[in-house]
Amino acid sequence: MLHSYFLHALLWALLLGSAGLAQAQAPQGAGPVIDLPPDVAAAPAEEALPAAPAPAPQAASGQGSAPIQSPYFFTDPVKRAINTPLLNLPRESQIDVSLDPRSASQRGAAVGSYGEMIVNAPLDGKGPAVADLRRTILFFGFNFTDHIRYFSEIEWEHAFSSNKQDGEISVEQMIIDFVIRRWFNVRTGMSIVPVNLVNLYHEPPTFHGVERPDVDLFIIPSTWKQLLVGFYGAVGDLRYQLYITPGLRAEGFTAATGIRGGVQDNWPKIRDIGVTGRIDWSPFLGANFGLSGFFSKAGQGDPNLGNISVTIGAFDARFNRAGFVLAGQVSYIYLNDVEQLNALLFRISPLAGPVSRQLVGGYVEAAYNLLQPLHLKSSMMMFAFFRYNRTDTQLDVPEQVLTAPRRAGFDRTAYVAGLTFKPIFEISIKADYTYRHTELADSGSHQLNLGLGYQF
């Protein structure tokens, strides 16, 4: 049985929010918009920019516009410019930049970075307080021609990596885009599987709270990167993505974290492939509705894993108007023929299973910019926010002989309230209080989280 009351409440909240915001007047038929430097925005579309453009002129107030991925997922247009000679391209980690007509005919390179430092401090004495330079990502992009573009991200986790300490250095993304038409383009390389909003837009300043929503930790394995090849484009207010990827590997599935351990980051087996897609609809500036999905077999030719398959469906929505930001998401996973996998896990790793046939999770979030009434000329913002999370990775465990029964403690609820201060658009200083509990008695935990995130 799905938690229908939770899902219905979430969907009704999203629908009612969209109905109210739709009353506000906005330009109709507006597609994705990316703020580009003034010299780029003013250049005719048919003229290529020089490889080494002069610094863009600044407004009298010292304010300009900075290249970003898409204002739909943020709160207000960026008012500060970062312009340097030679390195004047917008970031292109997602499809929004290449679909904007003002990004055509750009040449040259771009560098950037994002990362975060965090402190997790339990308030109930259930564990030690820890500090971590959780991740540092370096970005490099290059436009070979008007139609062939390159993008990459290299990630360092936990500041150090060796065979004696935790840490990781990895390629998070490496993309080559063949930009053909607004409605049809080709992407190949390693990129983010386009399921869930925060999974796609995961730079720390783009979401509230020090930690990502629970649905992006326990249901969708954010950040979910994968080798892929496929198509993307836009028609009117609709944007789409459709890719083929390697499939998952079921032996890594667990009761606690679902399919996360089944993601094949490197040297993937491709006996079973996956198909993933996403559609975004932006009816007016400040609103976005996303529908995404994924399907793959997960046996990879191993007869011990049987005919198991994974089907994912997700819906997300975000609204921004007059300093208010409403966001919500629901994600659902169905695993077919999971009985043979559970029999295998019971023999080789009893503590890992059982794996549920169905997993579900979601959240609703409301935020308000407390500085909005001041009408500041700067881009400074201070958001107060609240988020309700609910996830269950043991929703529907099949009853089997000689295997473990459903495990309690994985129906998780979390309440997060806090502040996000942004002195400039690219930096966020975060503080939040999180109360989390499961269906078990006396399982509640209280935690204070602090974080500093950046991107450029």
Whether 76 maps to a domain, the answer reads no
Task: Report CA-CA distances (Å) from 295 to 34, 394, 451.
Answer: 31, 20, 35
Between 123 and 87, the higher pLDDT residue: 123
User: Of the given ranges (6-10, 20-24, 190-194, 207-211), which has the lowest mean pLDDT?
Assistant: 20-24
Between these two residues, 149 and 401, which has the higher pLDDT value?
A: 149
Q: Is 65 contained in some domain?
A: no
Q: Is 392 helix (H, G, I), strand (E, B) or coil?
A: strand
Q: Which of 108-122, 163-177, 252-266, 389-403 has the lowest mean pLDDT?
A: 163-177
Contact predicate 390/413, CB 8 Å: yes
For residue 300, give its domain range.
4-31+114-455
Judged by average pLDDT, the poorest of 3-12, 106-115, 222-231, 286-295 is 3-12
Give residue 456's pLDDT.
85
Note the pLDDT of residue 404. Answer: 74
Write the pLDDT tens digit of every residue in 213-237.
Answer: 999 999 999 999 999 999 999 998 8
Q: Which region among 97-106, 415-424, 446-455 has the lowest average model confidence (pLDDT)?
A: 97-106
- Bigger pLDDT: 24 or 307? 307
In-domain check, residue 97: no
Which residues are within 8 A (CB) of 60 and not within 5 positions of it... i.e. 6 or more apart?
none
- Mark out the alpha helices in 72-169 (DSSP H runs): 96-99
**Domain tally for the chain?**
1
pLDDT score of 261 = 94
In a domain, 83, yes or no: no
pLDDT of the residue at 164: 64
Q: Is the pLDDT of residue 243 over 70?
A: yes
Residue 28 burial (10 A CB sphere; 0-12, 13-18, 19+)? exposed
Task: Tell me the whole-structure pTM to 2 decimals.
Answer: 0.80
Which pLDDT score is estimated for 240?
Answer: 96
Render pLDDT for 406-419 as a digit per residue (tens, 0 to 9). 899 999 999 999 99
Contacts of 373 (CB under 8 A, 6+ apart): 323
How does pLDDT run across 298-339, given as a tens digit for each residue?
A: 999 899 888 999 999 999 999 999 999 999 999 999 999 999
Question: Lowest-confidence range among 105-109, 179-183, 346-350, 376-380?
Answer: 105-109
In this prediction, residue 163 carries a pLDDT of: 63
pLDDT of 350:
85
Q: Evaluate whether residue 36 is within a structural domain.
A: no
- State yes or no: pLDDT of 61 exceeds 60: no
Q: How far apart, in whole angstroms, are the C-alpha atoms of residue 258 and residue 358? A: 9
Residue 48 placed within a domain? no
Q: What is the mean pLDDT of the chain?
A: 81
**Residues 69-80, mean pLDDT to the nearest whole number:** 38
Question: d(Cα 334, Cα 138) in Å, to the nearest integer?
Answer: 35
Residue 236 lies in a domain: yes
| Between residues 109 and 452, the one the model is more confident about | 452
Q: Span 418-431, mean pLDDT?
A: 96
Segment (H or E) for 389: strand 381-392
DSSP state of 216: I
pLDDT at site 92: 58
- Say if residues 418 and 431 touch (Cβ distance below 8 Å): yes
pLDDT, tens digit (0-9, with 9 covering 90-100), for 332-385: 999 999 999 998 988 888 889 899 999 999 999 999 999 999 999 888 999 999
- Element spanning 40, H or E: helix 38-42
Helix or strand (DSSP H, E) at 20: helix 4-21
Q: CATH number of the domain at 141, please.
A: 2.40.160.10
- Residues 121 and 140: their CA atoms lie apart, in Å, by 35
pLDDT reported for residue 379: 87
Q: Which residues contact 101 (CB under 8 A, 6 or more apart)?
A: 45, 182
Give a yes or no: residue 186 inside a domain.
Answer: yes
Structure tokens at 372: 């909005």
